[in-house]
Structure 1
């Protein structure tokens, strides 16, 4: 079910009551595994199979479909590299399957990169602060007044 729907997705698509019952069943299975009670494990595994089926039935009755990506943006860069951006990391496997020739990124990853505050990313972020709605077209390292002196040719 997790391969079909995504990890942790079904539990968020059903009612809180159904999700709580499923969580309780999962805990009982995990407890049985920890105690090495294999008869109890077999019993709890059967309950979990029915639980997974109930989760899927309820989610589909509510109109959800497996690998339903919440938000997705596919774009090609100026140099021809293809990217697909998804809102949630859980949507990455479905997006990769749908766009196998694209480089896939979750928005949380993009934010982590921007938050690293490399000189270029910090400058772009500052531009966005000062000019809301501005579009970043190119990132270049900032030039210092000393760059003309530092970047000159070595005379020997």
Structure 2
């Protein structure tokens, strides 16, 4: 509730990591998820959960937390939790929710402005009784 009440845009991401640097890899995957079309930089509220097996070390938790905290606002409210799942081995999963940042709005499309001449030339005025498709074929001759 503390993170979601900050307001602004919100996003959710998931990252996975395996091997020696699994926690850092999972954190990096979560903050740079290909599903995100925006960056989490500037987020003022972050909630993330680490799921791993009993072999997860406190050092790995700290490393993942550092990767995420460096990617968000320095004064962000960061809340995290850890779940030890005995069924998970040699893998770290991070689920992240970030809120309180302003998403860059897509650039507004400029309206196409059509300009029309103030007056129609006299020679063209005579052609207005002829449908455009016929005028075009006459111009091609």
Is TM-score (shorter-chain normalized) higher than 0.5? Answer: no
Q: Select the structure of larger CA radius of gyration.
A: 2
TM-score (norm 2): 0.23
Higher helix share: 1
TM-score (norm 1): 0.22
Say which structure, 1 or 2, has more relative contact order (CA 8 Å, 6+ apart).
Answer: 2
